[in-house]
Structure formats: C-alpha cells, structure tokens
Amino acid sequence: MKIPYPFGLREGCYLDHNFFVNCTNSSEPFIPEDIIVKNISLHGQIDTLMYIAHDCYKKGAMVASNNPWLNSPLNFTVSSTQNKFVVVGCDTHAYLLGYQQNERYATGCASVCESTRFMVNGSCTGVGCCEVDIPIGFKNVTMESHSFQNHTMVENFNPCGYAFISKQDTFNFSIDSLRTLRDQQMMPMVLDWAIGNETCNDIENKSNYICGDNSSCQNSEDRSGYRCKCKDGYDGNPYLPTGCQGVGISFIVMLVCSSWLYLMVKQRKLIKLRQRFFEQNGGLILQQKLSKPENSTATAKIFTTEELKKATNNYDETLIIGRGGFGTVYKGLLPDNRIVAIKKSKTVDESQIEQFINEVVVLSQINHRNVVKLLGCCLETQVPLLVYEFIPNGTLFEYIHHKNKVSTVSWEIRLRIAAETAEALSYLHFAASPPIIHRDVKSSNILLDSTHTAKVSDFGASRLVPLDQTQLATMVQGTLGYLDPEYMQTSQLTEKSDVYSFRVVLVELLTGEKALSFDKP
C-alpha cells in the first residue's frame, strides 16, 4: 500500500502526528486512535474498517452486545458521500451518535418484521433493513443497537439486531444477512480528511500553507480545513513543494499515438465486420451473377455503407418517408443529385440469401414504366439495404382515402391508374424471366409520380416462380383485406393471388371504401 505525504511512516515524513501511519504493532497499518488503514487517496479519503454494533438475545435475555465508537483525529470525518448508516434486524432500532461542527448530533432508523415473507433482497426500506444518510462533517461517532421486544417474537430466525456504517455499494441486503452478519465483525468505511481547521481564504497567505507549486486550494465539505489539488495539465502529489509536474510532450505524443492505434484497430474491425456482412448477405454471389453475360443488361449498383449514410444524413428520422411490416424507407440524395428511396429492412432470413440475391438480379433488369426501378443494394450491414428510384407523389391509398387528396384524382385518372397497375402485374407474371409474384398488392404499394402515373412498389414479400412450376408452397404473407382466401387456406401461391388483391384495389378505386374497415358492423 502506498503511503503518500502528508501521511508518513516515521518522524519527518508526515505533516503532524494526526498523519502518522503506524505499521509496527499490527498486522495492518493504522493511524492514531487505532483507525485501520486499507487505502489512502490524495483526493481526501481513507478506506478503513469499522466494527459492527449488535445486540443478541436468547429467550428474551440479552446474551451479547457491542456499541462501538470511533474518536477520529482532527479533520478526519465520516464521509457523507461515500457511506450509509445501515440497520439490519426484525426487532431493531439503532442510533448513530456523534458531533457535527462541535455540536451533539444523532440519527437512526428502525427495522421491524414478523417474518421473512415481505423482505426484498437488495431493499433497505424498513422491512429487515433500513438505512439513513450520514451528515456532513460527522465525527467522534458511537453506534447503538437496541430491541423493541428482546427479539422474543422473531428469535427463531433473527435473534440479533445490527447497526453499522458501510461504504456505499459494499453491503447488499439479503434475507441471509439476518444470519451471516453474526459472523462478521467489521465493515468497510470511508473517512474524509483535510489539512488544519482554516479555509483557503484564511490560510493561502500564511507560512503554514502546504499546497505546492502548480496546485490549487479547495475547502473541505464542512469548510473546516482544506485540501490541495494539482492544476489542470499537471499530475502528482500537490502536498509536496514540487509534487505537481506538467504532463509534457511525451504524454501528448503517447496520447496521440494510442488514439491513432485505437482508431486504426477500430477501423480494421469495422472493415472486417462489413466484409463479413457482405459475404453473409451474398455479396460474392451477387457480384458473380451481375458479371455473367446473360445479366449484362442489369444496372444494379452495389453501394457502400458510407454512401448510403451520407445520402440519408446518417438515417435522419426527418427523412423517413414510409414504414411498413418489412422495414423503413428513407429519402436520400446521391452524389450525382439523384433522389432515391432507401429501404432498411427489419430482418432477413439467412437461409433465403440466394433467393434474395436472385430477386435483386431480376428486379434490377426490370425496365417497365409502371414498376418502381431498383437501382441497387448495400450488403455491408447486418440487414441488406435496397435503393429504389424516388416516386414523389405518395401512394394511391392516400388519393383514395385522404379527404384533401380525393378530389385531385378524377375518374379518368383512376381508370388509367387501374390499367397501368394491371399492365405492371401482367408484365411481372408473364414477361419477366423468371416470373415474379408480388404477394402484397394493395393501394399503399402503388405509388404515383408527378403525372399520377402508377408505379408498383415494395417487393419485400415477392417470390420468383421457377419456370417449371405454376405455383409455390410458401408461408402465407400479405395484408388482411387484400389477401387471397384460397392462398390463405392452402398456402399455395400463384399469380392469381396477385389478381385477387388487384380486384380489391379496383373496388377501392370505384367505391372509395377501405379494404378493411372496423367502423362498420
């Protein structure tokens, strides 16, 4: 254990007798009044040990008791910020007695319970355990533990009451404490210490002021005595004449180097993590597929994480333009000033990565005026990101059901939107290779551009149909109200499932009613 000045082991090495640390007659060092020393901090604290007060009974008669006391040296006080006064027992009231600013002071609390039933481990609120704060500048303390009924009602599980000062976060009450504290004599406690009995204003210009160069004076909590502290940029023992030394160039160089090494290691870890996600999300497979001659018309770009972070201002919530069951859509701006929609999915099934990659390749080759164009993806994140062309005028759902937009869509426009949506689905079902079943056709997945041209969007639930099959067995997905009943019952997915959903959209266009309404019988 380090013994820093103003403390010392022999005469000439400590400030005065109050700071003498005796290591000769004990297994542990102690300062005057037999205060055991476990650690000394130049910030004004001493870690020590203090005896536990207790009173024990057998058949209503006291068989053991202990009311410990501590007469601390000048300006050694029980720390009010580092300790609590704790009382444990089911028939116990205990007191902490002492002096504050040379006046008598007492505090305490009571803990009562008839059984262990209502005790809560970790709780000191009066059932089995209670605690109170320590006043500032408290010294020369005595602890007393007493019983209300000589533990006659609780003797079978709690024959003793206990009281002690405990360093915060070192004692955690449990039901077992009623039994185990009997075998424990002492508890960790913290004392505050200061120099002399004068404040900084009184002492700074006197000959007995001991704060060294490059240090400042600080008053103790109760303003009886002072402490020294090295100024910013200095470190060491402020109680020595030249104890506070400048940090120096070497420390700055070491700090810069360590920061650089930390950033370099962090950057390497980030690069490795992104590469792992890229491979895990099928990046290598996608690169191979896009490089094949048969996919030469594909225009999908593989974006980096940094590109999309920059495009969305680090996914600023004010740029969110849509939320759905499969993810969140952000509005983004690419370096070439193209406005895009960036879809951040919630989850991806690792077993379906190859299927996902195939969909990216196929969708990137679709060039139909009524299908939202897929521009690319980012595979460097845990869940892949998809980048689409941005469609500015919102969804068909808004133009059918929001009062302020309904009047802007005439019957002629509605008919054209219906025809364009049908053309898009027909293209996906019969012209795309392999065919694509959308699986979530609804008015909120039909976007409108500046001329109210329909754009089918959101292929998060879509499935590719192998050329040798006419239907797929899948887990049922879709939106209630639009969901094909046959598909819901059989799990057999065909292009007719999309046709059913499209018919619901037609009814929406004709009637202006929602597909699913809870406002009616």
Amino acid at 475: M
178/191 Cα distance (integer angstroms): 27
Strands 129-133 and 374-378: what pairing? unpaired
Do 158 and 178 touch, CB atoms closer than 8 A? yes
Instruction: From 472, 453, 460, 425, select the one nearest 369 (Cα to Cα).
Output: 453
d(CA 77, CA 191): 5
Q: How would you label 190-226 residue by residue, b for 16+ Cβ within 10 Å and e otherwise?
A: bbbbbbbebbbeebeeeeebbbbebbbbbbbbbebbb
Q: Which residue has the tokens 């709780």?
A: 123
Residue 45 neighbours by CB under 8 Å, 6+ apart: 79, 82, 190, 191, 192, 193
Strand partners, 387: 342, 376
Tokens of 372: 């939202």
Are the beta carbons of 305 and 381 closer than 8 angstroms? yes
Q: Is 345 exposed, middle or buried (0-12, 13-18, 19+ CB in 10 A)?
A: middle
Q: Which of 47, 440, 458, 498 does the annotation list as catalytic?
A: 440
Which tokens hold the place of 252?
């700055």
How far, in Å, CA of 116 to CA of 90, rounded? 9
E strand or H helix that includes residue 217: strand 215-219
What φ, ψ does residue 106 adopt, rounded to 5°? -140, 145
Asked if 349 is an active-site residue, the reply is: no
Long-range contacts of the stretch 470-477 (C-beta < 8 A, 24+): 470/494, 472/437, 477/439, 477/440
Determine whether the annotation assigns residue 269 to a binding site.
no
- In DSSP terms, 280 is beta-bridged to none
According to DSSP, residue 38 is labeled E
Q: What is the DSSP letter of 2?
A: -
Residue 354's H or E segment, with its range, is helix 353-365
Q: How deeply is 235 buried, as exposed, middle or buried, from its count of CB atoms within 10 A (0-12, 13-18, 19+)?
A: middle
DSSP string, 70-137: E-PPTTEEE-TTTEEEEEE-SEEEEEEEEEETTEEEEEEEEEE-SSSTT--TT--BSSSEEEEEPPTT
Binding-site residues, please? Answer: 344
Binding-site residues for ATP, please? Answer: 344
Instruction: Show which residues are catalytic.
Output: 440
